[in-house]
Structure 1
Amino acid sequence: MTTDHGYPAVRMYIAGEWCQGGTGTAAPIVNPATEEVIGEVPLATAADLDRALTAAEEGFRVWRETPVARRTAILHAAAGLIAERAAEIGRVMTLEQGKPLAESTGEARRTAGTLRWHADDARRAYGRIIPSAPGTVLSVRREPIGPVAAFVPWNFPVGGPNRKISSALSAGCSIVIKGSEETPATAAALVQCYADAGLPAGVLNLVFGEPAEVSAHLIASPVTRLVAFTGSVPVGKLLAAEAGKVMKPSLMELGGHAPVIVCTDADPVQAARKAAQAKFANAGQVCTSPSRFLVHESLVEDFTAEFVKAAEAVVVGDGRAEGTTMGPLANERRLKAMERLTADAVARGGKVLTGGERLDRAGYFFAPTVLTDIPADAELLHEEPFGPLAPIVPFADLDEALAVANGLPFGLAAYGFTRSAATAERLCGELEAGILSINHCGGSVHEAPSGGVKESGYGREGGPEALDAYLVTKRVSHLLAP
C-alpha cells in the first residue's frame, strides 16, 4: 500500500508481524524537498515496547541456537534482497530524507555489502584453547551478549540501521531497533528484506516513538543486554548515563567536527576538489564530513578559489530530479542551525564567499557555503555544523594546525593532504581521531572499523571489530573427570 505521493504506508515490526501500534497515535512524515506531508509514522506505547522486548527475548533463544551456517545463509539471502531492491529502497529514501537518488541507491547497495561482510565474519568469531595443567581444558569462548536495544538517526536511513542489525544478528543476538521517525519507511523496507529472507520471528523488531520515552523503556528493561547508539554527543551522553545506571554495556558512535589539514607540500587544487566533494555529500549531514579546513598559508588562496568553484558547481534540488547533486537538508532544524552558525561567523568578522543563505523555494534547501576570515571563537569552529558549511582557516606551521585540529573534545574523523610520507606518518600519529584518511576524504567501509575517541564515542562498527560489542568473552576452566 502506498500514498498518493508513492510513499509506502509505515508500520512497526514486532514478533514477526507488521502492526500499527496500541493506540494508533502517529506523527507526520515530511518530504524535505517539498515540505509536504507524505505519510504517518506510528508511535509505540509502553505495551508495544514490552511486546517487542518479549519477542526479542524469545527470538534470542531461537537465534543463538540456530547453526551458524543457517544464520549465515539467511543473512546472505537478506543481502541479496537488499541489492535486488536497491532502486526502490533508494526511491523511498529520497522521498523522506532528500538525498539524490544516486546517493540513496548507492547507500542501499553498500548496505548489502556490509551485511555480507558481517555474515561471513560470524564464522570467524573464534575462541581458543590455552595450554594448561594435565587433566584441565582451559578455553576462551565468545558468545552472543543477548537482546540489543539500538537507536539510529535519519542521515543514513538504510546504512545506519543495518550496521546495528547486521552486527547483532551475525553475532547471534536479537535486536529491538528504534528507527528514525523522519525516515521510517526506509528502515521498514530494510526489515522487510530480513523477514522475506526467512529470519525467525522475534529476532528483529522495529519500533518508532517518542525518543526519550522509547530509549528509557528499552534501556531500563532487564531483557536488553547491550545499548547501541548512533547520533549526537549530547544524546549519546544521556543514553550512556542511563545504561550506566543498570551497568549495561553500550556502543556509542557519536558526532565529530572533522579537521582537514592541507600541508605546505600538498596540491591545493586536488585537495580542494576532493574535500569539497566530501563536504557536500548528503548536504554535509554526515558525522565524518570534513568540517574545518586548515590550509597552509602558502596554499590558501589557490585552495579557496578551487573550493568556491566546486561549491558553485553543486546542483541543489529535489533528489528525484535528474542532475541534482545535493538535496535539501533533512528538516527545518538543520536550516535554522545553518543560518545561526553563518550569522555568528559573519557577526564576528567572517566573510561568506559563496552561499550563506536558504534558497528561496519550497523545501529545506541551503546553498553550499564557503567562509573565510573566521575568528577562533566563532561557533562554527567549535560546533559540528552537520550541513553544507565550509570554513577555511590558514595556518603557518604544522604544529599550529595540529593544535587546532586536536583542540576540540571530539575525535571521530580527520583528514590530511601531503606528498611527504614522513608528514603523512606524523599526521597519522598525532591527529586525535578514530578514522583518518590521507590524500582523500574517504567514508566508512565495511571491511575496516569506524568509531571515535574522546567525546565522539567508543566501540567500533565495521571490520572484524564490529562484532566485539555484541559478543561476551567467557573463560572456561574444565577439569576433566578422572
Structure 2
Amino acid sequence: MASTLTLKPGTAWSDAWQRCLAVAPEAFREDRVLNLWAGSWQADGRPLPAASPVDGSPIAGPPRLDSTTAQQAVRASLDQHRGWRHAPLPERRARIAAALDALTEHRELLALLLVWEIGKPWRLAQADVDRAIDGVRWYVDGIEPMLGDRVPLDGPVSNIASWNYPMSVLVHAMLVQALAGDAVIAKAPTDGGLACLTLACALIHREGVPVTLVSGSGSELSEALVRSPEIGCVSFVGGRDTGGRVATAVADLGKRHILEQEGLNCWGIWEYSDWDALSAVIPKLFDYGKQRCTAYPRFVVQRSLFDSFLAAYLPAVKSVRLGHPLAVAFPDDPLPELDFGPLINAAKAKELADQVAEAIDRGAVPLHRGSLDDSRFLSGQDTSAYLPPVTLLGPPPSSPLHHAEPFGPVDTIVLVDTEAELLAAMNASNGALVATLSCDNEETARRLASEVRAFKVGLGKPRSRGDREELFGGFGASWRGAFVGGELLVRAVTQGPAGERLPGNFPDYHLMPTAA
C-alpha cells in the first residue's frame, strides 16, 4: 500500500535548526555547532558530516577536537572547579533550578532534536527530556541531607556516555554533579545527540553552571578525559570493549569511577501460567527498539512451557508499532504513537541483520521476522536504519547473539529443562544490570533470583535504571566502581570521611542484587 503520509508541519530538521539558532546563537552557527570549554563557545574542531537515522538526511556533525585542545579544556575545567566547589549550596541550587526552568521552557525543541538525531519516537523523546528535568528537581529539593558534611571532589567529573539517553542519563548526571559542587565535562556521543546536548548546555551555561562540552573520538580524547590528573572522577556509560579500557586506566590511576557497561539482561520463565500478564508487557519491552541498557533481549524458557509461551509472545510482538516518528496523514494529526523508529544508524541495522542471517545459517530457528509497513513511512524515504522485530530460537554459541546484548529489536529464546540450566543461561554474559523471573510461586522466584548475576531482579515485571530513591549498579562485567541513584549518586561524586568505602562493584566490595 503506497504511503500518503507527510512530515508534520514545523517538525523538519531545518525548522529545528533555525529554532536552535534563535534560542542559542552563541552555540550554533548556520553550518555547525561549537564546542564549549574555558567558559565560552569555541569555533574549533573539525566538523564531520552526519545523517539522521530517521531518513538519512544531513544533520549537524560533531566538531572533533584533537587531544591537545581537549587537554586544554580539561585544565580550564579544573580552574572552574576550584571556584565552583566553594560556591555556597544555596547559590548552586538557585543556578541549577534556573537551568531547569530554561530546559523546561525549551522542552519541545530538545525533544524534536532527539527525534532527528537518535530516532526516538515523540513520546519517548519527550519522556527523556522530562525525566532529566524532574529527576534533577528532586535532587534540588532534597540535596541538603544527601550532602551533609560531604565536600566536592578535588577535580571535575568527566562524563562519557552512550547516545541513547542524552538528557535523562547524561544531562541528568551532569546537573546533579554540579549541584554537589563539581565542575563537569561531557564528551558529546559520536553517534548522535549533539545538537540536543549543545542546546541543553547552552541553557545551563547561561545560568553560570560550570559545564564543558567537547566532541571527538574516544581514542583521541581518552588521554585527556580519562587519564588527566586534573580529573576527579570518570563517569562512563557504554559498551564493554571501551569500558574495559577505561576500567584499566582508572584502576591504574586509582581514580574515582562509575562505569556502567552492557550486559545480556534475561527474562526467565519457570513454572509459570499467567500468560495474559506476560503478553501485555511484551510490546512495552520494545520501547526505543531495545536500544537501552535495561532492555530484555533474551528469554530463557522452561521447555515444557514453550508452546504456551509462544502463544502469548507471538501475537504481542506482532503488535509492535514501527515507523517514521514525524509522519502524519493530515497536518493537524498528532504525531504517531510508535514503540520505536529507526535504530541509531543504517550501519547498526545492517550489523544486526547480518548477525541474524549468520545465526540462522548456523542453526538458529527464526520464529518471527517482521517487515516494514510502507504506510507508516514517507513515500520514497530512506529506511535503511529501520529494522523490524526479529525472534530467534536457540542462537548458536558461535553467534554474538548467544552471549552479547544486541542493542536492537532482536529477541533470542533459549530452552532449558532444569533450574541449573535456567540460571546458567540467565548468567551467560558474566553479569547484567537487570533481569526478571516469571514464576507462579514467589518463594521459588526469590530463591532463583538470589542466584541471578544481575543487580536488579524483577519478579514478573521488568526492572528499570531508576534515578531517585532506588540505587543502581551491576554485577560482573556490567559495572565497575561506585553505585549511583538517590543519595549514592551524590556520594559517588563527593568526598566523605577519611577512609570511607563507597558502595559499589569494586574488587573487594559487593552488594547483593535487589529483587522486586
The answer to which of 9-18 and 290-299 deviates more is: 9-18
Q: Choose the corresponding residue for 1:231, options 220, 233, 238.
A: 238
The within-5 A match list for 1:6-155 is 6-7=16-17, 8=20, 9=28, 10-21=33-44, 24-126=45-147, 141-155=150-164
Alpha-carbon distance between aligned partners in 1 of 2:394 and 2:276, rounded to the nearest angstrom: 20
Question: Is contact 1:415-1:440 (8 Å) kept?
Answer: yes
Letter in 2 for 1:243: V
Alpha-carbon distance between aligned partners in 1 of 2:308 and 2:397, rounded to the nearest angstrom: 22
| Alignment correspondent of 1:306 | 312
Q: Deviations over 1:348-398 (max 9, x none)?
A: 222222226788961300011122244455431212111000112222233
| Alignment correspondent of 1:339 | 353
Question: Is contact 1:344-1:379 (8 Å) kept?
Answer: no
| Alignment correspondent of 1:170 | 179
Q: Choose the corresponding residue for 1:316, options 313, 319, 322.
A: 322
Q: Summarize the Cα distance change of 1:246–1:359 in structure 2 as closer, same or farther, 3 Å threshold.
A: farther
Q: Deviations over 1:241-264 (max 9, x none)?
A: 222333322210110110101221
Identity of aligned pairs, percent? 25
| Alignment correspondent of 1:160 | 169
The within-5 A match list for 1:401-420 is 401-420=422-441
**How big is the shift at 1:149?**
1.5
Q: Summarize the Cα distance change of 1:345–1:40 in structure 2 as closer, same or farther, 3 Å threshold.
A: closer
| Local SS of the residue matching 2:109 | helix
Question: Is contact 1:161-1:179 (8 Å) kept?
Answer: no
Q: Choose the corresponding residue for 1:350, options 361, 364, 367.
A: 364
The within-5 A match list for 1:330-409 is 330-355=344-369, 362-363=382-383, 364-375=385-396, 378-409=399-430
| Alignment correspondent of 2:3 | none
Alpha-carbon distance between aligned partners in 1 of 2:437 and 2:100, rounded to the nearest angstrom: 34
Q: Choose the corresponding residue for 1:461, options 484, 494, 516.
A: 484
The within-5 A match list for 1:272-287 is 272-278=279-285, 280-287=286-293
Q: Deviations over 1:260-308 (max 9, x none)?
A: 0122134123213313421x11111111110110122333223223322
Aligned length: 457
Question: Is contact 1:145-1:470 (8 Å) kept?
Answer: no
Question: Is contact 1:308-1:370 (8 Å) kept?
Answer: no
Matched, 1:251 2:261: no
Letter in 2 for 1:457: W
**How big is the shift at 1:318?**
1.6
| Alignment correspondent of 1:433 | 454
Question: Is contact 1:268-1:299 (8 Å) kept?
Answer: no
Alpha-carbon distance between aligned partners in 2 of 1:359 and 1:455, rounded to the nearest angstrom: 38
Alpha-carbon distance between aligned partners in 2 of 1:11 and 1:207, rounded to the nearest angstrom: 8
| Local SS of the residue matching 2:498 | strand
Question: Is contact 1:216-1:242 (8 Å) kept?
Answer: no
Question: Is contact 1:145-1:226 (8 Å) kept?
Answer: no
Alpha-carbon distance between aligned partners in 2 of 1:85 and 1:114, rounded to the nearest angstrom: 17
Give the root-mean-square deviation of aligned CA atoms. 2.4
Alpha-carbon distance between aligned partners in 2 of 1:356 and 1:337, rounded to the nearest angstrom: 17
The within-5 A match list for 1:194-209 is 194-196=204-206, 198-200=207-209, 203-209=210-216
| Local SS of the residue matching 2:165 | coil
**How big is the shift at 1:127?**
5.3
Question: Is contact 2:284-2:339 (8 Å) kept?
Answer: no
| Alignment correspondent of 1:193 | 203
The answer to which of 351-360 and 101-110 deviates more is: 351-360
Q: Deviations over 1:173-194 (max 9, x none)?
A: 1111101132201111221332
| Local SS of the residue matching 2:454 | coil
| Alignment correspondent of 2:188 | 179
Alpha-carbon distance between aligned partners in 2 of 1:111 and 1:230, rounded to the nearest angstrom: 16
Alpha-carbon distance between aligned partners in 1 of 2:67 and 2:415, rounded to the nearest angstrom: 53
Alpha-carbon distance between aligned partners in 2 of 1:18 and 1:428, rounded to the nearest angstrom: 50
Alpha-carbon distance between aligned partners in 2 of 1:348 and 1:455, rounded to the nearest angstrom: 27
Letter in 2 for 1:362: D
Q: Deviations over 1:108-135 (max 9, x none)?
A: 001112212333453123557xxxxxxx
Q: Summarize the Cα distance change of 1:420–1:428 in structure 2 as closer, same or farther, 3 Å threshold.
A: same
**How big is the shift at 1:446?**
1.5
Q: Choose the corresponding residue for 2:442, options 421, 426, 436.
A: 421
Question: Is contact 1:155-1:286 (8 Å) kept?
Answer: yes
Alpha-carbon distance between aligned partners in 2 of 1:5 and 1:207, rounded to the nearest angstrom: 25
The answer to which of 368-377 and 403-412 deviates more is: 368-377
| Local SS of the residue matching 1:412 | strand
**How big is the shift at 1:334?**
1.4
Question: Is contact 1:179-1:187 (8 Å) kept?
Answer: yes
The answer to which of 400-409 and 286-295 deviates more is: 400-409
Alpha-carbon distance between aligned partners in 1 of 2:397 and 2:273, rounded to the nearest angstrom: 24
Alpha-carbon distance between aligned partners in 1 of 2:444 and 2:108, rounded to the nearest angstrom: 43
Letter in 2 for 1:17: S
Alpha-carbon distance between aligned partners in 2 of 1:5 and 1:305, rounded to the nearest angstrom: 45
The within-5 A match list for 1:211-222 is 211-222=218-229
Q: Deviations over 1:42-96 (max 9, x none)?
A: 1123453234223311221221111112212222232233333222111000001
Alpha-carbon distance between aligned partners in 2 of 1:243 and 1:358, rounded to the nearest angstrom: 44
Letter in 1 for 2:439: T
Alpha-carbon distance between aligned partners in 1 of 2:148 and 2:258, rounded to the nearest angstrom: 22
Question: Is contact 1:93-1:186 (8 Å) kept?
Answer: yes
Flag structure 1 segments of 5+ consecutive residues without an equivalent. Answer: 129-140, 477-482
Letter in 2 for 1:450: F
Alpha-carbon distance between aligned partners in 1 of 2:322 and 2:221, rounded to the nearest angstrom: 35
Alpha-carbon distance between aligned partners in 2 of 1:195 and 1:266, rounded to the nearest angstrom: 54
Q: Summarize the Cα distance change of 1:455–1:163 in structure 2 as closer, same or farther, 3 Å threshold.
A: farther
| Local SS of the residue matching 1:387 | coil
Flag structure 2 segments of 5+ consecutive residues without an equivalent. Answer: 1-11, 21-27, 328-335, 375-380, 500-516
Question: Is contact 2:271-2:440 (8 Å) kept?
Answer: no
Q: Deviations over 1:335-354 (max 9, x none)?
A: 13212321232112222222
Question: Is contact 1:111-1:162 (8 Å) kept?
Answer: yes
